Structure 1
Amino acid sequence: MKLRLFLSALMSLAIAGAVIAEESVIVTSKLTHLRNSGDREWATFPETGQKKELSIPFEAKVNQREGTLLLRQQDVKQTWNVELNGTVLGKLVPDANDQQLLLKVPPKTVKAGKNQLRIYQAGKQIADDIRVGEIVYFDEPKRDVLSEAQLSIEVVDGKSDKPLPCRVTIVNTDKTLVATTAESNERQAVRTGVIYLSEGKTQFHMPAVHYTIVAGRGFEYGIDFRPIQLAAGEKKKVQLKINREVDTMGYVSSDTHIHTLTHSGHGDCSMAERMITLAGEQIEFPIATDHNKQIDYEPLSRKLKVRRYFTPVIGNEVTTKWGHFNVFPVQAEGPIPDYKLSAWNEIFDSIYETPNVKVAILNHARDIHSKYRPFDRKNHLSQTGENLDGWRLRANAMEIINSGATQTDFMQLYHDWFGALNRGTFLTPVGCSDSHDVSRYIVGQARTYIQTEDKDPSKINVGQTIQNFVDGKVLLSYGLFTQIKVNGKYGPGELVPASDDLKVSLTVSGPSWVTADQISLYANGELIRREDIQSKDQGGVKWQGTWKLKQFPHDCHLVAIATGPGVSDAYWPLAKPYQPDSPEFQSHVVGSTGAVWIDTDGDGKKTPAYAYAERLVKEHKGNLNALLKSLANYDLAVSQQVASLLRADGKSPFDPELTKLLQDAAKQVQIGFALYGEAWRASQIARSTN
């Protein structure tokens, strides 16, 4: 059916991108803020003035055939029903992205005369600030609404002109993701306004209005975009070219936390769609980690002809009541770890008894699952990496950036990691997506770059790559790529021999659509230098610099972290926190290094702060004054570990004798004990109230 654009007088009603036929009814031209209960979720919404539900009457004719309801939604997280005259047509999509939603209206659901549309929160009443509106009813099926013009898209490599796996994003003039007739198949994975292509080509129908089409391929590629105006009955072809912009030579991109609806039972991404999205986001070393299942991507990736783009590894998210742990490699048909066990020691015994396992990652340690948060202050002290229940963390890696479960303070998990390293728990830092979806949370948006041979992504040496991962030879990327070399040779996971001075060379890279504005260097978790970055606009190297440092008084670990403003555009939007601590949130792109260890004492080992603290406590046992004076030659981390050891031996952080002696101690010793005391007090309060 031929559709017409809104009359110019009605265009001011701000239904941008909607195509309106004579049989159509504008239910509302406005977006309305809804929140059914609780305090506001985000500071971008007003504290008051919202409605609990949207209830709108409208006049129409009875629909003798299937009709369509078009609406626009933003920031949806919980379950919201869309009801017409008492009939639930469907639910809003649980997705924060600004997008259109089209729902089928069964015949005779619309009455002659007055009708009532209602949108309300269903199920458990959890605070959820949303905007919904710009609603139009069409007296025709969805496919007819969308079939006014035809669009063919091809995405090619800018140098070779060969088609590439990619992500295509389509928005209207309001930057809203728009609906099309495209559907998922063996060559594409489709959601509203998003089409992942395994072969770089697609064709579909959509209304005849103005759009912007954007093509990209994950973090390492630039984007190409094209504004287009479609006319009714037109068949238009568009070619977009994208280029590799970020040099990651010597590293492969890995996402260690990947799910499917097929095997995990939630989210929306099927196995076939997952294969296509992995190729489209250029994840070269994906780890399959469905919940308590061991799934092999190999057969399906070959069937769908995307195996040449990556080397898959079988893993398992061991999902227990006491934390989630991604483990790999494992056997598809082999035994799985016992996820019903009730303590870490037993859980880790079961994990490491599983054939082939080399890696155990502590997942999203600051999130609550099954009423348990691994790094909650009531059972964990971040500053010193100690478990207050006496449980030993036997993981060898931990998630630092999980783009599907981001933190309000993105540095919190870095500080947790620093505390673990200082305790002597050597954990490889991990960037991952935890994606269960095609486009809500982008697979590989946060990722881990593992040092290894990377010439052919289909033939990655699995054993060597996993060993390098265990050894900490990694970089973390969430929109930036930060590299470090100490004395021109040593990188993450390596031990730097003692020398009089240290030269720390840093490089920050990113695609043209990302900006870096700051680089920071941490030693044993303490910020020792920070510099603002004048980021280059083009893709590639954004900033380079070499910092000279004096030799440290004892062994320590160095970590560099670059940041910049977050990406909000629909082609690669960063998600808001999964379990926010505050309605205030500022997103950041991040690129960080793994830990480089400085072997100041020359013993050929990574000596953590805890080892120095333990040695000093034994050496000065019974002489508290001498112990505190000896700490003048050590950093803040060692002082905190000493405070921890004294507390475990019965010396409270607030002991009068200790408090008095600290008045004459070195400044970093006073600060270290004060920070530990503050954290200890907070943990005791938390434990007493639970």
Structure 2
Amino acid sequence: MRLAPALVAVSVFTSMGCRWRRRRAPPRPPPVSARIEVLDRARLADHAYGRVGDLRLVAGEVALTVAARPDAPGHRPMMGAIVDVDRAADDQPDPLLWWRPVWIDAASRAHPMVAALVDLAPCPNRSVGVVRTATVDGVSLRSQLCALGPGRFRVRTTARDLPAGATLADDINPGSASVRVEGRDEGWEGTTPTPWIELTEHGTTLRFETADPAVARRNLVHIAAETFPSAVTWMASGASSDRTLTVRAADPAPPPPAAGATLRLGFDDPSGADVPVHVMFARAGGPDPQPALDARAHGFASGRSVYLLDGHGDVSLPPGEYRVTASRGTAWTLHRSTVTLGAGAPTELRATLRPVLPPGWIAADLHLHASPSPDSRVTLAQRVGSLVCNGIDFAVATDHNRITDLSPAVRAAGLDHALVTAIGDEVTSAGSTLWGHFNAFPLPPVGEAVAPEDAVPPYYGVDPAALFAGARAAGASILQVNHPRMPPSIGYFDLTRFDAATGRASEAFSEGFDAVEAFNGIWLETPAKVREGLVDLVGLARRGMRVTATGNSDSHRLVYEEAGYPRTWVRVAQGARATLGERVFAGIRRGETSVSSGPFVTLENLTDGRDGVLVVRITVTAPAWVPVEHVELWRDDVVAQRWAVTAPATDGVRFETRAVLRLERDAVVTAWADAETPLPDVLPYPGARAIGFTSPRYIDRDGDGRVTVAPRP
């Protein structure tokens, strides 16, 4: 059938129009809504690296911060790395320290990208993005960050001139965040294929995904009974990688099981005043209980512990029989009892704790971590509470390469009367050569105009002498060598090949420190490592050095690595509370310290020893619950005299004697007390030992003004 001319024209036009539409490219989607901001103030939240001048790529309510400025000398080079993730406009903690491209050579060595250029660049989806370029050890890297939508991002990285056997990878440092990969639980380590990685902490989850084959590698750090986090290397299969990142609110934690029974706790001192306590719960033949503290109480719960800042609170537990241990550190008596809880009215438990040790000494913990450290989840409020409940009078905040001030948390908790704090920094060496960890204190407070990374003393790529000089320049009057013989690669004495038998060390060894952490809390179950610390103090005397012994918890957690175990007792002169810090530092510089995870040991010189006869008095004081079984008097690094303590345990002086040492030459003298019986349930470690020892006494036998100890035969 033939169509009318008009209809033919319309039909042809329509047909041609259809053919024309089919030949056109499909409509382009609208550009993704995103924007670039330049930081006008430093990011101050825990783990934050963002500094003024860095770039923020904002998509919806989520922003990624890219380090866009060169780093100061002596600081980790992070230019080009993604260093902060925010789900809101305010400055909040997040699960990421950094995310940056690296290439991995055939020997599995990582070559991190430090960008030579960070600039804006359009993305394929017409959104704005950030491009980072660098040549790293002969390999040219280009990495572009783009927004895909609200809370979603893409990073595409390419490499040129990649050597044979090498591959691209991502260096993802989650700090203390939980890390999940496909088919593995949260505690995974080693190497595993996975198309995704999830980091969760602070109410935020970051999910990294790829459609390409990828392998994740993580090597956790194991020291004694403890495990510490590490970065994740996510390896691609060649010279390009394509990753997406989705940022969302973390899934809510499951509600705790119904308790059904209430224990009403109340603790005071002999005057009737409320006393802060640390309460531990145990249940025979069953899993560790998980007590829940009433929200109205002044305190918090963690694991099988409850910390009561005013000694009072209602605790919820399932009905049953529990062993309850309430303590306030090694200077106080404790309370132990067994309670049977049932449904219905609360069961009451009230007790009085008494101080035991003599006045004139301050309990100090000079090595502590909280959430500003990348390997700790403890909040500042929790850290302050744990210190007070464990009877610490003076504390120094020493987060890894971070300046932390605990005093606002002390004031917020109303604990100014119980705890004085100082600002410090654990200068944690980094770079191609590691030298260990060192506490620097006191340091001045840092204003909000200064980024946390810029405020710390130099730590990256500097030798020990430069590291010590930088800490002194920052204001530190005391430098403490932390855990000097601790694997892996964090013990200064091991890394500088210091030989205590001769006093010799490598050329890199610097003597610019004042104190040595002879007892670190990680060695509570390993007395031989603590004795090693005393031997090292004698080895330093073989170099002509006089240093002070300290002992500190190095606490990164709450229930494990308990604050105040061990502690450094510092003899202080009388004075106003406002000057306590100055008096503590003066006592440390004088060497008037005693280290303890239980017994408190003092050593008094009754003669000066210059006639060849040194007379000393040794006194050991402890509450009855602290086991004391042996006392030793050391001359140099040899036990010269040893006594067994057989008297029944009582609160107060447990041992006292007058001892005589014959000296032919200069000597270092130390008193020590310990027990093979472990501490009771004030700590979760089944084998935690009660150990106490004094700082060395340097005896100038020949009167020449120096103490020179002969090498060990």
TM above 0.5, yes or no, is yes
Partner of 2:698: 597
Q: Which amino acid counterpart does residue 304 of structure 1 have in structure 2?
A: A
Counterparts of 1:81 and 1:171 in 2: how far apart (Å)?
A: 30
Is the alpha carbon distance of 1:523 and 1:273 closer, same or farther for their aligned partners in structure 2, counting shifts above 3 Å? same
Written as runs of structure 1 = structure 2, the 5 A alignment for 1:78-93 is none
Across the two proteins, how many residue pairs are aligned to each other?
A: 470
Alignment counterpart, residue 259 of structure 2, candidates 139, 147, 163: 147
Partner of 2:339: 228
1:511 has 2:620 as partner: no
Counterparts of 2:316 and 2:187 in 1: how far apart (Å)?
A: 24
Alignment counterpart, residue 204 of structure 1, candidates 308, 315, 330: 315
Counterparts of 2:338 and 2:601 in 1: how far apart (Å)?
A: 33
User: Are the equivalent residues in 2 in contact too, given 1:314–1:329 (CA < 8 A)?
Assistant: yes
1:308 has 2:417 as partner: yes
Cα displacement (A) at 1:502: 2.7
Counterparts of 1:608 and 1:185 in 2: how far apart (Å)?
A: 60
1:556 has 2:667 as partner: yes
Partner of 1:160: 271
Is the alpha carbon distance of 1:80 and 1:317 closer, same or farther for their aligned partners in structure 2, counting shifts above 3 Å? closer
Q: Which amino acid counterpart does residue 281 of structure 1 have in structure 2?
A: N
Cα displacement (A) at 1:144: 7.1
Q: Which amino acid counterpart does residue 289 of structure 1 have in structure 2?
A: T
Partner of 1:214: 325
1:304-335: CA deviation from partner (whole Å, max 9, x where unpaired): 11111121111111111311100111012174
User: Are the equivalent residues in 1 in contact too, given 2:599–2:622 (CA < 8 A)?
Assistant: yes
Counterparts of 1:187 and 1:322 in 2: how far apart (Å)?
A: 42
1:177 has 2:277 as partner: no
Partner of 1:367: 486
1:323 has 2:433 as partner: no
Counterparts of 1:430 and 1:398 in 2: how far apart (Å)?
A: 6
Cα displacement (A) at 1:592: 0.6
Cα displacement (A) at 1:187: 2.2
1:238-285: CA deviation from partner (whole Å, max 9, x where unpaired): 2122111233x2111111001102x11323311001111111011111
Written as runs of structure 1 = structure 2, the 5 A alignment for 1:220-299 is 220-247=331-358, 249-261=359-371, 263-299=372-408
User: Are the equivalent residues in 2 in contact too, given 1:154–1:239 (CA < 8 A)?
Assistant: yes
Partner of 2:230: none
Cα displacement (A) at 1:515: 1.4
Alignment counterpart, residue 387 of structure 1, candidates 505, 509, 516: 505
Cα displacement (A) at 1:382: 2.0
Cα displacement (A) at 1:459: 4.1
User: Are the equivalent residues in 1 in contact too, given 2:278–2:306 (CA < 8 A)?
Assistant: yes
Cα displacement (A) at 1:143: 5.4
Written as runs of structure 1 = structure 2, the 5 A alignment for 1:39-78 is none
Farther off after superposition, 227-236 or 323-332? 227-236
Counterparts of 1:125 and 1:267 in 2: how far apart (Å)?
A: 14
Cα displacement (A) at 1:572: 2.5
User: Are the equivalent residues in 1 in contact too, given 2:294–2:313 (CA < 8 A)?
Assistant: no
Is the alpha carbon distance of 1:419 and 1:171 closer, same or farther for their aligned partners in structure 2, counting shifts above 3 Å? same
Alignment counterpart, residue 358 of structure 1, candidates 461, 477, 491: 477
Q: Which amino acid counterpart does residue 531 of structure 1 have in structure 2?
A: W
Counterparts of 1:358 and 1:128 in 2: how far apart (Å)?
A: 30
Q: Which amino acid counterpart does residue 349 of structure 1 have in structure 2?
A: A
Counterparts of 2:612 and 2:505 in 1: how far apart (Å)?
A: 37
Is the alpha carbon distance of 1:144 and 1:433 closer, same or farther for their aligned partners in structure 2, counting shifts above 3 Å? closer
Partner of 2:541: 421
Counterparts of 1:81 and 1:329 in 2: how far apart (Å)?
A: 35
Counterparts of 1:394 and 1:184 in 2: how far apart (Å)?
A: 48
Counterparts of 1:186 and 1:234 in 2: how far apart (Å)?
A: 18
Alignment counterpart, residue 336 of structure 1, candidates 430, 451, 456: 456
Alignment RMSD (CA, Å): 3.1
Counterparts of 1:542 and 1:221 in 2: how far apart (Å)?
A: 14
Partner of 2:522: 404
1:432 has 2:552 as partner: yes
User: Are the equivalent residues in 1 in contact too, given 2:523–2:529 (CA < 8 A)?
Assistant: no
Unaligned ranges ≥5, structure 1: 1-77, 93-121, 131-140, 489-495, 576-585, 610-637, 641-671, 673-690
User: Are the equivalent residues in 2 in contact too, given 1:150–1:236 (CA < 8 A)?
Assistant: yes
Cα displacement (A) at 1:438: 1.4
Counterparts of 1:501 and 1:160 in 2: how far apart (Å)?
A: 46
1:411 is paired with a residue whose SS is helix
1:547 has 2:648 as partner: no
Partner of 1:608: 708
Q: Which amino acid counterpart does residue 557 of structure 2 have in structure 1?
A: D
Written as runs of structure 1 = structure 2, the 5 A alignment for 1:465-614 is 465-487=584-606, 496=608, 498-499=610-611, 501-550=613-662, 552-574=663-685, 588-603=689-704, 605-609=705-709
- Which structure: greater helix fraction? 1
User: Are the equivalent residues in 1 in contact too, given 2:517–2:551 (CA < 8 A)?
Assistant: yes
Unaligned ranges ≥5, structure 2: 1-175, 189-216, 226-252, 448-454
Counterparts of 2:611 and 2:289 in 1: how far apart (Å)?
A: 59
Partner of 2:129: none
TM-score, normalised via structure 2 length: 0.61
1:400 is paired with a residue whose SS is strand
Cα displacement (A) at 1:123: 5.8
Counterparts of 1:523 and 1:353 in 2: how far apart (Å)?
A: 37
Counterparts of 2:564 and 2:575 in 1: how far apart (Å)?
A: 20
1:189-217: CA deviation from partner (whole Å, max 9, x where unpaired): 31122011111111132211111222110
Q: Which amino acid counterpart does residue 471 of structure 2 have in structure 1?
A: I
What percent of counterpart residues are identical? 21
Cα displacement (A) at 1:455: 7.9
Q: Which amino acid counterpart does residue 640 of structure 2 have in structure 1?
A: I
Counterparts of 1:291 and 1:420 in 2: how far apart (Å)?
A: 26
Partner of 1:462: 581
User: Are the equivalent residues in 1 in contact too, given 2:266–2:311 (CA < 8 A)?
Assistant: yes
Q: Which amino acid counterpart does residue 326 of structure 1 have in structure 2?
A: N
Is the alpha carbon distance of 1:411 and 1:79 closer, same or farther for their aligned partners in structure 2, counting shifts above 3 Å? farther
1:1-60: CA deviation from partner (whole Å, max 9, x where unpaired): xxxxxxxxxxxxxxxxxxxxxxxxxxxxxxxxxxxxxxxxxxxxxxxxxxxxxxxxxxxx
Q: Which amino acid counterpart does residue 150 of structure 1 have in structure 2?
A: T
Counterparts of 1:125 and 1:476 in 2: how far apart (Å)?
A: 30
Q: Which amino acid counterpart does residue 329 of structure 1 have in structure 2?
A: P
Counterparts of 1:397 and 1:128 in 2: how far apart (Å)?
A: 23
Structure scoring higher RCO (CA < 8 A, sep ≥ 6) equals: 1
Counterparts of 1:481 and 1:639 in 2: how far apart (Å)?
A: 30
Q: Which amino acid counterpart does residue 250 of structure 1 have in structure 2?
A: G
Is the alpha carbon distance of 1:129 and 1:524 closer, same or farther for their aligned partners in structure 2, counting shifts above 3 Å? closer
> Which 4+ runs in 1 deviate beyond 6 A?
78-83, 86-92, 125-130, 183-186
Counterparts of 1:293 and 1:183 in 2: how far apart (Å)?
A: 33
Q: Which amino acid counterpart does residue 240 of structure 1 have in structure 2?
A: A
Is the alpha carbon distance of 1:541 and 1:336 closer, same or farther for their aligned partners in structure 2, counting shifts above 3 Å? same
Partner of 2:14: none
Counterparts of 1:549 and 1:518 in 2: how far apart (Å)?
A: 18
User: Are the equivalent residues in 2 in contact too, given 1:484–1:505 (CA < 8 A)?
Assistant: yes
1:350-370: CA deviation from partner (whole Å, max 9, x where unpaired): 111112x1100011111135x
Counterparts of 1:234 and 1:303 in 2: how far apart (Å)?
A: 33
Is the alpha carbon distance of 1:79 and 1:175 closer, same or farther for their aligned partners in structure 2, counting shifts above 3 Å? farther
Is the alpha carbon distance of 1:385 and 1:214 closer, same or farther for their aligned partners in structure 2, counting shifts above 3 Å? same
Q: Which amino acid counterpart does residue 470 of structure 1 have in structure 2?
A: R
